[in-house]
């Protein structure tokens, strides 16, 4: 089936969604996604951040769709034409969706552990408006422990349902979910510290905001101050392919590897995540590939050519007016005598 997205055409198999087709094309035309996760069944359709405008339904029925549709749920039809970044009215609609998501989200990025790898931060900067019209009191929740290593900040949650679907599809049994309805809906458990299954840590990896955080990593370091390294081990429970986050020689945390869309490539077990934090436990593959738009890429470069010549000697880079007031002794530069006038 042929589909055209922002004047770029591609042939895709039947059953492909608009979002999947856009990802095949790549670039700026790819709609953002906060709830869709390709490795989780029935995900998508909750956050509405991936809205697109269908200007032509198909070759058989060229009528446009009457309103924007979520690209993660809308299947492609042959001859379909779609607008995303080329439709000004859709960009305004996207700003409204972001404003809606931020209505109850606290502005605590400076103290949030998700800062630097938060999808909502990226969404707000790239697709949001500069201000909000919301003036009412925000809803708040107490911070609770839903597992021995998982902290829940429900105030930050955008109800993307990813963690619920991970518990449904990856773990043995789900013991948490969405309680209540409407503006009082929340992710929670009936009993605190009840999540104990061996794949519960993946709930942290799939969370697009700072609602679910790793208690073993909380407040220990900013993500741009640790260096990600790909590694693997022979594990009987999971593929064992992980990302180690180093600070010096110490492994600060272990997570699943993520692809260019921010999705985990392989779900890992809690043994790999929490119990194997020594370099000797892993076979190191090399530095992780980090997208250059991410703040994590700061101070994280891979040398692709031999190092250049060393910098000039200290004597050569000292400004001339300072050299006049310095003495050369045994090839080193000494400060001028403080008793003499400069």
Structure tokens at 146: 């839903």
Q: How far is it, in rounded angstroms, from Cα 18 to Cα 75?
A: 6
Please check the confidence at residue 116 and state whether its pLDDT lies above 60.
Answer: yes
Most confident range, picked from 82-96, 130-144, 289-303: 82-96
Residue bearing tokens 């422990």: 145
Tens of pLDDT along 237-271?
A: 999 999 999 998 899 999 999 998 999 999 999 99
The b-or-e profile of 107-141 (16+ CB within 10 A means b, else e) is eeeeebbbbbbbbbbbbbeebbeeeeeeeeeeeeb
Tens of pLDDT along 202-234?
A: 999 999 999 999 999 999 999 999 999 999 999
Structure tokens at 200: 């519960």
List the beta bridge partners of residue 8.
5
The answer for residues whose C-beta is within 8 angstroms of residue 109's C-beta and 6 or more apart is: 115, 118, 121
pLDDT average, residue stretch 133-158: 89
Name the maximum alpha-carbon separation found in the chain: 93
Kindly calculate the radius of gyration of the chain based on its CA atoms and give it in whole angstroms. 25
The whole-number pLDDT of residue 303 equals 57
The whole-number pLDDT of residue 69 equals 94
Listed range (121-135, 151-165, 207-221) with the worst mean pLDDT: 121-135
Q: At what angle do helices 88-101 and 119-127 cross, to 10 degrees?
A: 140
pLDDT average, residue stretch 173-191: 85
How does DSSP assign 65-120, residue by residue? PSS-EETTT-B--TTEEEESTT-HHHHHHHHHHHHHHTSS----GGG-TTTTS-HH
The whole-number pLDDT of residue 300 equals 65
Structure tokens at 162: 């990813």
pLDDT average, residue stretch 82-106: 91
Check residue 248 and report its DSSP letter: T
Residue bearing tokens 């738009």: 293
The answer for residues whose C-beta is within 8 angstroms of residue 32's C-beta and 6 or more apart is: 49, 50, 119, 122, 123, 126, 127
Strands (E) in 248-309, as ranges, are 250-256, 283-287
Tens of pLDDT along 15-57?
A: 999 999 999 999 899 999 999 999 999 999 999 999 999 999 9
Q: Are 55 and 86 in contact (CB under 8 A)?
A: no
Q: When comparing pLDDT for 294 and 92, which is higher?
A: 92
pLDDT average, residue stretch 81-85: 94
Residue bearing tokens 């008793």: 339
Q: Are 218 and 164 in contact (CB under 8 A)?
A: no
Cβ-based burial of 37 (10 A; exposed 0-12, middle 13-18, buried ≥19): buried
Q: What is the pTM of this model?
A: 0.81
- Over pLDDT 70: what percentage of the chain? 87
The whole-number pLDDT of residue 229 equals 93
Tens of pLDDT along 301-338?
A: 655 555 554 444 433 433 444 344 444 444 444 444 44
The whole-number pLDDT of residue 325 equals 42
Residue bearing tokens 């949650």: 157
Q: When comparing pLDDT for 136 and 66, which is higher?
A: 66
Residue bearing tokens 């055209």: 4
SS3 272: helix
User: Which has the closest alpha carbon to 265: 283, 284, 286, 242?
Assistant: 242
Which domains does the chain possess? Answer: 2-101 (3.10.20.740), 109-216 (3.30.70.20), 220-303 (no CATH), 309-342 (no CATH)
């Amino acid at each position: 089936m042929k589909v055209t997205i922002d004047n770029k055409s591609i042939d895709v198999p039947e059953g492909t969604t608009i979002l999947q087709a856009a990802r095949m094309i790549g670039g700026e035309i790819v709609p953002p996604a906060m709830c869709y996760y390709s490795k989780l069944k029935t995900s998508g359709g909750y956050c509405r951040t991936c809205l697109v405008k269908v200007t032509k339904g198909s070759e058989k029925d060229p009528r446009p769709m009457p309103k924007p549709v979520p690209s993660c749920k809308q299947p492609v039809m042959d001859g379909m034409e779609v607008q995303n970044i080329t439709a000004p009215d859709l960009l305004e609609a996207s700003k409204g969706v972001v404003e809606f998501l931020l209505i109850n989200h606290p502005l605590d990025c400076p103290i949030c552990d998700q800062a630097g790898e938060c999808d909502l931060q990226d969404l707000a900067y790239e697709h949001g408006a500069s201000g909000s019209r919301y003036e009412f009191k925000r809803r708040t929740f107490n911070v609770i422990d839903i597992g021995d290593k998982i902290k829940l900040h429900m105030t930050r949650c955008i109800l993307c349902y990813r963690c619920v679907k991970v518990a449904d599809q990856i773990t043995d049994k789900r013991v948490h979910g969405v309680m209540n309805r409407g503006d009082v809906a929340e992710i929670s458990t009936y009993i605190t510290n009840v999540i104990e299954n061996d794949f519960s840590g993946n709930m942290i990896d799939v969370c697009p905001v700072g609602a679910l955080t790793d208690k073993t990593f909380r407040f220990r370091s900013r993500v741009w101050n640790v260096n990600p390294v790909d590694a693997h081990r022979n594990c009987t429970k999971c593929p064992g392919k992980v990302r180690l986050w180093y600070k010096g020689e110490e492994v600060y945390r272990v997570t699943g590897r993520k692809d260019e869309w921010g999705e985990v490539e392989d779900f890992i077990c809690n043994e790999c995540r929490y119990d194997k934090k020594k370099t000797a436990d892993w076979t190191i593959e090399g530095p992780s590939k980090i997208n250059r738009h991410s703040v994590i890429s700061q101070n994280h470069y891979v040398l692709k050519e031999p190092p250049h010549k060393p910098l000039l000697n200290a004597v050569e880079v000292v400004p001339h007016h300072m050299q006049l007031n310095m003495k050369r002794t045994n090839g080193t530069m000494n400060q001028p005598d403080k008793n003499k006038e400069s």
